[in-house]
Amino acid sequence: MPVGTQATVKSMTPEEVEALGFRVILGNTYHLGERPGPALIERAGGLHRFMGWPHAILTDSGGFQVFSLSGLRTMQEDGVVFQSHINGARKFMGPVESMAIQRMLGSDIAMVFDECPPYPCTRDYACQAVDRTIRWAAVCADQPRAQGQLVFGIVQGGVHADLRERCAKALRGMGFDGYAIGGVSVGEPDRLIAQGVADGVAHLPDDRPRYLMGVGLLPQVVDAVARGVDMFDCVMPTRFARNGTVFTRLGRYPVKAAVYREDPRPLEEGCACYVCSRFSRAYIRHLLNAKEMLGPRLVTWHNLFCYARVMDDVRAAIREKRFAAFREDFLNKYNVISADHSAVEK
């Protein structure tokens, strides 16, 4: 899912995102609750109509902001008091408030309000976060929903397998429509990310979607699919694009680097996207260094295309029962430094 935090996938029109093959995007309850506000969006006909997106929308509950805005919030047992990053005003959000905002937004999938613990943190802190997540999830499950709205629970537990097991089993008992693995890729090394995914998935039902939140490097995605994950979101392909980082099937590289000043090649050799069929690395590097808005827009376009095609290939490999071979080949080739990608970052 491309991330559209503020009701937009940055620099892209809904039609362009749709043409790339995406059929679900992510919005954020905390940020849309702050600006422009859920009441305005509800009066406008809901988030789909407000932003002109005809397909599915998943809204993050605001639970990640408990982690990312830790310097601007105060934890309470029944929710969180945030100090607005916009105007400094104090605002309370708990499971009732989060679900009410998501109902007003009219998203297709609403996430429960949870606590995402940081890495590192003490076991005691992680245990308290799991207790709150379970307690808040039960409140969320009882709240009214928009018509047809699904609700997903979120498994927390940090790096502790037993805590993730306890959280997953408690959420399963609440009968959510799908389940997410949260609290990974929050600063821990790759081996602990993979372990956190495995610990979460191990105790989730096979007949419900499994969603890995905020994990988005392509090797991590392909590896998580092998572990049983179905859904992903991450800001990387769009956020990194604004800094000039190009994602390819072999790795990523900074197209703003001087080595590409006169490079006539496309961003990725063999790529069939609009950007690669028309523009050179030299031109896009020029746009980025001249701070022309078209530069980040073109890199975003390519990066999203790259992610969409890899996911297409993943689905095809699963359907054709050759995913294990696909995974091995993809992971072996990724991050290869070759003559064609002399500046790919390891």
Which tokens hold the place of 243? 């800094």
Which amino acid appears at position 294 of this protein?
L
**Beta-sheet strand order (sheet of 210-212):** 24-28, 56-60, 109-111, 150-155, 178-181, 210-212, 231-232
Which of 60, 114, 199, 223 is flagged as catalytic? 60
Pairing of strands 24-28, 90-93: unpaired
- Tell me how far CA of residue 93 lies from CA of 21, 83, 87, 219, 267, in angstroms: 34, 11, 16, 35, 43
What burial letters (b/e) apply to 139-157, b meaning 16+ CB within 10 Å? bbbebebbeebbbbbbbbb
What is the distance between the alpha carbons of residues 63 and 186, in angstroms, rounded to a whole number?
13
Which of 114, 223, 233, 263 is flagged as catalytic? 233
What is the distance between the alpha carbons of residues 259 and 342, in angstroms, rounded to a whole number?
9
Pairing of strands 245-247, 252-254: antiparallel
Nearest one of 111, 11, 100 to 57, comparing CA atoms: 111
Catalytic-residue membership of 60: yes
Q: Tell whether omega for the bond before 209 is within 30 degrees of 0, i.e. cis.
A: no
- Reduced to 3 states, what is the DSSP secondary structure of residue 164? helix
What is the distance between the alpha carbons of residues 17 and 2, in angstroms, rounded to a whole number?
8
Which tokens hold the place of 230? 């179905």
Catalytic-residue membership of 206: no
Which residues face 80 on adjacent strands?
75, 93
User: Inter-axis angle of helices 123-141 and 95-105, to 10 degrees?
Assistant: 50
Which residues face 181 on adjacent strands?
155, 212
Active site residue ranges: 60, 233
